[in-house]
Amino acid sequence: MSEQGGELEAVIGLEIHIQLATATKMFCSCALSFGDPPNTHTCPVCLGLPGSLPVANARAVHFGLMIGLALGSELAPRSIFHRKNYFYPDLPKGYQISQYDEPLCRGGHLGEVRIHRVHLEEDAAKLTHLGASGRIHGSDASIVDFNRGGTPLAEIVTEPDLRSAEQAGEWLKLLRTTMRRLGVSDVNMEEGSLRCDANISLRAAGSEQLGVKTELKNMNSFRFIERGIRAEIARQQKLIAGGGTVTQETLHFDPASGAITSLRSKEEAHD
């Protein structure tokens, strides 16, 4: 693929969410579960009820530090949590407790891919959208299970050092093996213990300047991750070849149809 006579190359960075193998949630004493009856592992803290106060899970912090040491990161002498405000049915507090400018770990690498940061946060609840086959009271609906809400997550953000879908898939397999060896997570993609977002842009080969990126959200298998990245690279190539411009936005890849659709604009985002 060429742009004004020059070849284009893909630039890919990954954001990986890993559910940590603690006994309880990130900020309360509710037990972690998978496959249990909906809304049976909740309390005033993870439901965000008035007056409830979070207490950080020391085991989750320990696991986060283990990840940082394994990746050769710089461990923060002081790290704090922030509120990431957004309003959605899977987040009862109206904000997610996460880390922003003082993450637990900075820098490091795994193989030839540099690590930007590792930080801790809580997972959202599980939201399921029902179609015609799952009608409730005669109409389409969405249902929410708060069992997952508050599960400890380590988010690992890479630098944009990957150049192909295949390279991204191979690197993620190395990361999964590393996390399993550490014992910090079962990294079971089928159960959502490892989920991946991919930031993808194109630029002229040999250039140091980054292009406008898009973000593919919540891919949960290596095959889908590689297919999604390939599809988005092809979409951007076609757009640029036709004289168009890439818009910074969050996208969804449908593995059944192979289609990529827009979820929301991220024109003002700097994350």
Question: What does pLDDT average to over the chain?
Answer: 90
Judge whether residue 235 has pLDDT over 50.
Answer: yes
Contact 258, 241 (CB under 8 A): no
pLDDT over 70 for what percent of the chain? 92
DSSP notation for 243-254: T--PPPEEEEE-
Structure confidence at residue 266 (pLDDT): 55
Tokens of 116: 């930007």
Q: Please, which residues have CB within 8 angstroms of residue 94's CB and are 6 or more apart in sequence?
A: 48, 85, 86, 87
Contact 187, 180 (CB under 8 A): yes
Contact 252, 263 (CB under 8 A): yes
Spatial distance between the Cα atoms of 51 and 266, rounded to a whole number of angstroms: 34
Spatial distance between the Cα atoms of 90 and 33, rounded to a whole number of angstroms: 17
Over range 208-220, report the average pLDDT.
89
Domain map (residue ranges) of the chain: 2-265
Structure confidence at residue 198 (pLDDT): 97
Contact 219, 228 (CB under 8 A): yes
Q: What is the DSSP letter of 128?
A: E
Spatial distance between the Cα atoms of 207 and 187, rounded to a whole number of angstroms: 35
Judge whether residue 271 has pLDDT over 80.
Answer: no
Alpha helix (H) residue ranges in the chain: 58-70, 165-182, 222-241
Residue located via tokens 């997570």: 185
Q: What is the pLDDT of residues 91-124, one digit of tens each?
A: 999 999 999 999 999 999 999 999 999 999 999 9
Judge whether residue 267 has pLDDT over 90.
Answer: no
Contact 94, 85 (CB under 8 A): yes
Residue located via tokens 């989920």: 195
Q: Of 131 and 268, which is predicted with more confidence? A: 131
Judge whether residue 133 has pLDDT over 80.
Answer: no
Structure confidence at residue 83 (pLDDT): 94
